[in-house]
Structure 1
């Protein structure tokens, strides 16, 4: 790890607080990362879905490791704040694959990763977390491992026991080396508070329209709030609206709120 990475890694860890939860508007390319950084972001997180879409693939382990690492490298080179990368399930089938991915993430300059269980058995993600931690330790790296639990996002298991299943997975993943737990798909305050009370490491939730505000989530015990693929979805919705307006009415009013060309061009020139 470079001196800059170590500094960014320590800063990134310090940003996980209840008084002011780390708010992440996830980026999917260099331009979105620069725009988000210029808006005041203390850190940049990537969204694997947004990255996949921008490269012509669906979300869900369709990206190759090389595609993901190239994008991470481009973003870390373009911004000055810490970068944490969404690496889906780790891009591989076994421990050696996960180790290779983590080595590549560190070489690309990131200081954190999100790694998810999806529909895999919990023991599988626990193994991947252990390998990720061991790999980072061998590299002398301070890597923030954020373990994503998909019980609520995918509606896995019995709803009556989903909370306990989520907490059971959280304990397993923390024991395996996770520094944080990410539970997307839950926005009701009772469940969030219950998760925060029982999880011993920083809790990350995914927010969007209708969810509590960042400050409100902090009072519930949340230390990190992500927008996931939401910003990318909104950007693609803007592209669709502009196209539909052009084709349907021949008007251009939907372009009014676009970032001015000189401003956007300048953002992409500052780090080169």
Structure 2
């Protein structure tokens, strides 16, 4: 253990060098060392690596920047290091800087992965959600069309959406249209990931209008027929959340689709247990809404 501490401290000291070549070599070695195990991750953070790595994220050297953000990603795997990163002054600004203006796609992808990793801690989701640049940066990354980057961005968005107060902010940022573009582009193979995020986003009152703008209910209903079992689960959850939060306009969109009730009823027999549970609750809500007398118009 002592050897590990000494090695980590030596590398962190070199990371603070005025020589960029020395910094690059140290960052590369820290990145590799942090991949191995939690003991190394703890030693590296304990040696004070995090503030130096954060500072170097603003480097215009592609190799140095990508090794620093990847080292942070590897460090964040170890639970206690998440707090070390979050408590470092300027950490979020630097991570978002790489997400939006990184020197390479690898750097941007790994910044999204860092955001995902940190947001596995529930208490951090509100902090990230309060920064509009985070969601905008993740959506810009998705728009670039790189499947690997998009997958990491979706993971980050999913965990952000687990915090209820973030959902309306994400809708305002344009997340619904971007997610449906992924659903429609099945060639990327990310329909399940995109619908998982949509299911969370749907659980806010602001989502109904966003879904209507892109004919989202109809697209989701089509997936009930053609999607994978996991996609069907996500769609059923999204529709249930929409009806619970979106009111009569969503109910009308579903009931106006001739095959909707038939598709939902079929899933009570063919769906996964989770899908059956969501569909059953949805059909009960739809039945109750359909039987509700219309208010008189004046």
Normalising by structure 2, what TM-score?
0.28
Higher share of residues assigned strand: 1
* Greater C-alpha Rg: 2
